[in-house]
Amino acid sequence: MEIALVLGLLVVGIALFSTEVVSVDVVTLTLLVALIVFGILSPAEAFAGFGSELIITLVSIFVLSGALQQSGVIAEFAAWLERVARGRRNPLLLLLLGSTGGLSTMINNTTATAVFMPAGLQIAHRLEIAPSKVLMPLAFASILGGTCTLIGTSTNLAVSGYLEAAGLEPMGLFELAPVGLVVLPIGIAYLLTVGRRLLPDHREESLTAAYEMREYLSEVVVTEGSPLVGERVYTSALADLGFRVLEVRRDGRFFLPAPDTELAAGDLLIVQGPVQDLLQVKAKTGLEIRGDLLVDDKVLQQADIEIAEALVPPQSSLIGRTVRESRFRQRHGVTVLALHRGGQHPPRGTIGQLRLRLGDVLLVQGPAARLESLRRGRDLWLIERSEPVSVPRRRRGIATLVFLAAAAVGAGLGVVPLAIAFLGAALGTVLIRAITVDEAYRFVEWRLIVLIGGMTAFGTAMESTGAADLLARGIVAALADLGPHAVLGGFALLTIALTQPMSNAAAALVVLPVALSTATGLDVSGRPFAMAIALAASLSFITPLEPSSLLVYGPGKYRFRDFAIVGGPLTLLLVAVVLLLVPRVWPF
């Protein structure tokens, strides 16, 4: 009964992870509570994963990544790449992907993607190609870079933490490098050759390759003296400017405009059109742009008021909330004028009532100082060319890089324990004010922390009840006659399959106990199984559900199938490489 219950909870967990009807951290904690209530785990066993060295290391890395982002030094380096390549396409893309992959070996994949994404957009504009030709390779390069080191991705840390909890040797900082340093260049070579031909060209759906020309959804109000009053929607001056009127709100109700619908004073229009024309609406048509809240004209006309585009990143607290619910203007001091949602028609309703999603792009307006504060926060990332980095910020950024390098070297040589090395480096960034304490807490992906801590305990439950042994016997029965190499391949493919509906770390932690039990049954080392699972969990290219891929999904105007077309062959290629190299580096 315990085995059936654990496996049943696992199926329910996977289903909820894949649909995301409920937040992954809530699902994880619910599973833990269920395991405790049914007497499968004690409270101490259920929550032991949250006090591990893995969690300390992971939190420290998030703080270091945030400090690097705050300093602006790496963003400045991204702009330097453009000058080095002198506008030549292949060298420029090679430098961009190589730099992204290289940075991702030492910091979180998503942060590496975010740091270089503005440069990717600028490069696409310079080369006069669609952003879809650049952004997916950029995200994939960050994922590939994470396979090279223990700290390159949270999945590797999760696997290492589980190994240590199981009484086995944890991963070394550079233990994965012999395989990762082969996977990374092969993956980049594929993206620049075969993948380049498979990448979509979505220029028709994005008005131009430059992000400044994006189409936005906005709200405008027809004023009393507007020349549009009495004009038909489809033949009005607003239509002449290239705007489409999607909905009209009149007398408290929304309706779709018909060809003979005439505009009236007081109408609130949901319009879609180019951003550069949106800012000319008032002068040409007598319309008022309405933001997240009604804004006084005097505020919008101040000399220091600026307009910028801002992307909703993975760790944003705005995800799932409306602009009004988040009290956006009160908190940030800027107004949301319009919204862009890549390739999708936003749901019915006013902008203030739309629930924001990962990848949404907001057109915001406010004082320059307030926009600068957005740059330093975690809720939004400004999509624009980086401003010159001040001397104090540059010094702090360089110091952060020194701390990070020292932690990596010290842990790699075994001089200092991994958790202590990176905790010390993170504390150093706070002490030199490269990042404030409040900012450090905001940059930590707490949902991921809960997920890893909880799923580690779930792996313990699978072992203690015998569920892992049951699955292991099934896999062995199916593949054991073909030898440990076939069993290894089966686990690698199972891990890749599970990473599509689940997070990479959760998939690895579900498969790992089964794989280690199988290795014991075959009387071979469990090390190659652990390494193959860690590497396979990072080969998430078939769907855009990996955070780095989700980050570029909207700005690249991608469709779901684009990732299968480009990422499918890449996944098969790299799985073959992993299965070939792992048994040689870590013999059975």
Least confident of 82-91, 225-234, 362-371: 82-91
Assigned domain for 469 exists: yes
Q: In this structure, is residue 157 part of a structural domain?
A: yes
Give the domain range for residue 374. 214-382
Helix axis angle for 53-71 and 109-127, nearest 10°, is 30
The verdict on 282 and 347 lying in the same domain is yes
Cα–Cα–Cα angle for 157, 161, 164, rounded to 5 degrees = 140
The answer to whether residue 39 is domain-embedded is no
Residue whose C-alpha is closest to residue 107's, from 535, 382, 400: 400
The pLDDT tens digits for 107-161 are: 777 667 766 776 777 677 667 788 889 899 999 999 999 899 888 887 888 888 8
pLDDT(433) > 80: yes
Average pLDDT over residues 204-233: 62
| Section 254-275 average pLDDT | 78
Q: Is the pLDDT confidence value at 401 over 80?
A: yes
Is the whole-model pTM more than 0.85?
A: no
> Across the chain, what does the average pLDDT equal?
78
Using the structure block, give the residue that is written with the tokens 């690097």: 68
Q: In terms of domains, do 322 and 230 share one?
A: yes
Residue 26 sits in the same domain as residue 173:
yes
| Residue 376 lies inside a defined structural domain of this protein | yes
Alpha helices per DSSP H over 413-483: 418-431, 437-443, 446-465, 467-479
Judge whether 61 lies within some domain: no
Q: Is residue 343 domain-shared with residue 417, that is, in the same domain?
A: no
CATH number for the domain spanning 332: value is 3.30.70.1450
Domain count, the chain: 3
Task: Examine residue 467 and state whether it is found in any structural domain, yes or no.
Answer: yes
CB 226 within 8 A of CB 285: yes
Q: What is the pLDDT of residue 299?
A: 36
- Last residue of a domain, which of 352, 382, 412? 382
In a domain, 277, yes or no: yes
User: 318 and 430: one domain?
Assistant: no
DSSP state of 435: S
Same domain, 137 and 17: yes
Q: Is the pLDDT of residue 277 over 70?
A: no
Q: Tell me, yes or no, whether 238 and 344 share the same domain.
A: yes
Residue 356 and residue 485 in one domain: no
Q: Is the pLDDT confidence value at 423 over 80?
A: yes
Q: Note whether residue 449 is domain-resident.
A: yes
Task: Using pLDDT thresholds of 50, 70 and 90, give the confidence band for residue 409.
Answer: confident
Give 157's Cβ-side CA count (13 Å radius). 29
pLDDT at 384 over 60: no
Higher-confidence residue of 82 and 288: namely: 288
Residues 422 and 518 both lie in one domain? no
Residue 467 CA to residue 3 CA, distance in Å, equals: 5
Domain end position, chosen among 330, 365, 382? 382
pLDDT over 70 (residue 275)? no
> In a 3-state reduction of DSSP, which class is residue 303?
coil
Boundary-marking domain end, from 399, 424, 442? 442
Q: Tell me the pLDDT tens digit for each residue of 498-525.
A: 776 556 777 788 888 888 888 888 889 9
**What pLDDT does residue 294 have?**
38
pLDDT for res 61: 78
Decide which of 341 and 29 is more confident. 29
Same domain, 243 and 303: yes
- 277 close to 243: Cβ distance less than 8 angstroms: yes
Do 323 and 222 share a structural domain?
yes
User: pLDDT category, 208, cuts 50, 70, 90?
Assistant: very low
pLDDT tens string 481-503: 788 889 899 889 888 877 765 56
Between 271 and 185, name the one with better pLDDT: 185
Write the pLDDT tens digit of every residue in 67-101: 877 776 766 666 677 677 665 778 888 988 998 89
Do residue 10 and residue 159 come from a single domain? yes
CA torsion through residues 120, 123, 127, 128, sign:
positive
